[in-house]
Amino acid sequence: MTTRASRSLLICAIRAMALVSVVLFLILPARAQQSQNWDWCNDRGGSALSLDRRISACSAIIESISETPEELARAYGNRGVAYQNKEDNDRAAHD
């Protein structure tokens, strides 16, 4: 009886570890991309970073569902500055 219970517990533990592995496998690349988006949105890409790339990165952050209201406000503000630098004042004012 104990052997059956031990085996059942082992199977449950293996399934749980497999589930955690799959979740991490799916989450970590998304987090890395989000980190890259924050670098670009915050204009940490150097002087060669285009305004379009900055706008795109900020937009990706805004469209994600994982950011806090404060982070979203920062992304909107950064995108608005990029629009203003492109002299797209209507979009800048909207953001």
pLDDT one-digit tens code per residue, 16-62: 655 544 444 444 444 546 789 999 999 886 655 699 999 999 999 99
Write out the two tokens for 40.
């670009």
- Return mean pLDDT, the chain: 79
**Do residues 42 and 32 make contact, with C-beta atoms less than 8 angstroms apart?**
no
Alpha carbons 77 and 39: distance in angstroms, whole number: 14
Q: How far apart are the first and last CA of the chain?
A: 65
Asked if residue 75 has pLDDT above 60, the reply is yes
Name the residue with tokens 């998304």. 30
